[in-house]
Amino acid sequence: MQPLHDLLCADALSGRHLWAAGKSVALEALARGTSLGGALPALHGRSVLVAMEHQLATALALIELDGVAGRLVLCPPGLSAEHRSHVIAGAGVDAIVFDGDASQWAGGGALMRVAGGPAVRPAEGPTVRDRQTEWIMLTSGTSGAPKMVRHSLESLTGAIERRGGWRGPIVWGTFYDIRRFGGLQILLRSVLCGGSLVLSDAAESMGRYLERAGSLGVTHISGTPSQWRNALAFSTSGAISPRCIRLSGEIADRAILEALRARYPQADVVHAYASTEAGVGFEVDDGLEGFPARLIGGGGEVDIKMLDGSLRVRSARAASCYVGAGAPALKDADGFIDSGDLVERRGERCYFVGRRGGIINVGGLKVHPEEVEAVINRHPDVRASLVHSRRNLITGSIVIADVVLRAGAADTADRSTEVKREILAACREALANYKIPAAIRFVAALDVAATGKSVRHPVQQPDVVWRGLASRPV
């Protein structure tokens, strides 16, 4: 496959940009220039850790380095010094490109260090891009050292259709960080589909990002369901008028799909099944939660099956393996990846019910938090919910629900009590008794981790980038 820079230059570049908060780069300038000074020849064939603090500098480096570096290792924000050392050793890193404080990389031995940034200057000469670069991505686990998976540009772009039938300018936006799989997908879509991209910023509120994205004419925008629930709480959600809305990373339940259709009736709403390991599996564009059962066992480019209740994926879009000493096998003997996502078939539809590792055990009975949340989220006064467990001496655990209400939904004590009663009534109607929350707490916010997903294990304290101020956005 051609390097990313060459694919970019093969398309029309006039009017296309990468926009960050307060900065932008014209893709025409990048086609002729560089953000890495004269360092590209020295980085040829190396295993390069891309450790930029800012997404714009990251995007530029990735476009330039594919085809030059032997291996690109994407360093996500907030990676601890201990885990950085693990990544450097496990991925065989021998060069680092960065745009922040060089002192944090002191003590890295003989590692080559290259400073980059958002400024593009004229290149001194042609660049040799003759490598099939490996792309190493870190998984989004919330505890322990992250696993590293190996992709290629071909696997990362296997689900992307050039232009995809859209007419007119395409301007992508995403709530994801592009150093995560979901965000990288959007960077690659914008590069390969003739578009521009509006990048988010960790220092920028959700409301301000929506305002900026609207001012730049975003036509396509992606995020997790948790990020979208947060976004819809802001008055500036009306600043954008997208033609396409894309969800991934978490279960897209009926409540969020209906809320997005109501807020953006002109938009196609698509939810994609994807993971860092399995790549992009499939997309659902029929407006319904879950996915058609015909996708199971259908063969083709992406082969999907269910085994012991979990979804297994075999695909050329998947990562090839885990990387590092002692790394476990990624695939089984038949080439399938166990996603850990639990699925139930009901008639001609399959529904995600949760993660294998997220089950709450109530007296030996299994409760999937996402199933309970889907029921709670259907209440018209609920903005978002998070179901978790609390230890109990009798049953081992009980189910607790933290609920964020829409602004003004329960502004009196009587109404608050009534809403709780209504939520519990809905749960009793839809769920088995052991799945009904033992307590409902109204909270001002739910935390969203750097991955874009709801924080389900707060004791582990993952990086929180946007706090879901769903009741009183500012």
Place of tokens 């993952």: 462
pLDDT band at 161 (very low <50, low <70, confident <90, very high): confident
Mean pLDDT of the region 207-223: 97
Band (pLDDT 50/70/90 cuts) for residue 165 is low
pLDDT band per the 50, 70, 90 thresholds, residue 308: very high
Task: With cut-offs at 50, 70 and 90, classify the pLDDT of residue 217.
Answer: very high
pLDDT tens figures, 256-307: 999 999 999 999 999 999 999 999 999 999 999 999 999 998 778 899 999 9
Q: What pLDDT digit, counting tens, does each position of 312-344 carry?
A: 999 999 999 999 989 999 999 999 999 999 999
pLDDT, tens only, 232-256: 999 999 999 999 999 999 999 999 9
Confidence of residue 157 (pLDDT cuts 50, 70, 90): very high
Q: Which amino acid is at 51?
A: A
- For position 457, what pLDDT does the model report? 57
pLDDT (0 to 100) of residue 8: 95
| Cβ-proximal residues to 433 (8 Å cutoff; 6+ apart), any chain | none
* Residue 107 confidence (pLDDT): 56
What is the CATH code for 4-342? 3.40.50.12780
Burial of 202-225, coded b for 16+ CB within 10 Å and e otherwise, reads eebbbbbbbbbbbebebbbbbbbb
Q: Is 428 helix (H, G, I), strand (E, B) or coil?
A: helix
Q: Which of 313, 49, 46, 13 is nearest to 192 (CA)?
A: 13
- pLDDT value at residue 78: 86
CA distance 186 to 174: 7
Q: What is the pLDDT of residue 474?
A: 29
Residue limits of CATH 3.40.50.12780 in the chain: 4-342
pLDDT at 141: 57
Instruction: Assign 219 a pLDDT band (cuts: 50, 70, 90).
Output: very high
What mean pLDDT comes out for the span 367-395?
93
pLDDT tens, residue by residue, 31-72: 999 999 999 999 999 999 999 999 999 999 999 999 999 999
Which CATH fold topology does 359-443 show?
Answer: GMP Synthetase; Chain A, domain 3 (3.30.300)
Tell me the pLDDT band of 108, cut-offs 50, 70 and 90. low
Instruction: Place 460 in a pLDDT band, splitting at 50, 70 and 90.
Output: very low
> Nearest 5°: CA angle at 260, between 258 and 261?
65
Beta-bridged to residue 399, according to DSSP, are 389
Encode 429-447: b = buried (16+ Cβ within 10 Å), e = exposed.
eebeebbbbeebebbebbb
> Residue 97 pairs with which residues in a beta bridge?
50, 114
Does residue 459 carry a pLDDT above 50? no
Residues 386-416: tens digit of each pLDDT: 999 999 888 889 999 999 999 888 778 888 8
Whose tokens are 């908060």? That residue is: 21
Give me the helix-helix angle, 413-430 and 369-377, nearest 10°. 120
Residue 187 has pLDDT above 80, yes or no: yes
Predicted local confidence at residue 101, as pLDDT? 75
- Residue range(s) of every CATH 3.30.300.30 domain in the chain: 359-443
Q: How far apart are CA 422 and CA 419, in angstroms?
A: 5
Report pLDDT for 89: 93
The reported pLDDT for the residue numbered 143 is: 60
pLDDT of residue 168: 79
pLDDT at res. 472: 34
Please answer whether residues 344 and 353 qualify as being in contact, where contact means their C-beta atoms are separated by less than 8 angstroms: yes
